[in-house]
Amino acid sequence: HELGHAIGLFHEQNRSDRDQYLTIYWQNIQSGMETQFAFLKPHLNLLLTSFVHVSIILYVNYAFSIDRT
């Protein structure tokens, strides 16, 4: 995961098209962690590949959750 960042990869959940693939339950995110799900700035948002559901650069589905169930 961190190696991906080192070579310039960004989290999949920050892509501008992520809402086509993911549902973010904002009310279930730990306070102060909402920025982990913010969209990338336009100059960084290069959609050169398809969204990858099994990417090592995508957080697990319960990351930063208040309730993991």
2 among known catalytic residues: yes
Catalytic residue among 2, 20, 27, 68: 2
CA distance 6 to 43: 18
53 labeled binding residue: no
43 labeled binding residue: no
Active site residues: 2
Give the residue ranges of the annotated binding site: 1, 5, 11
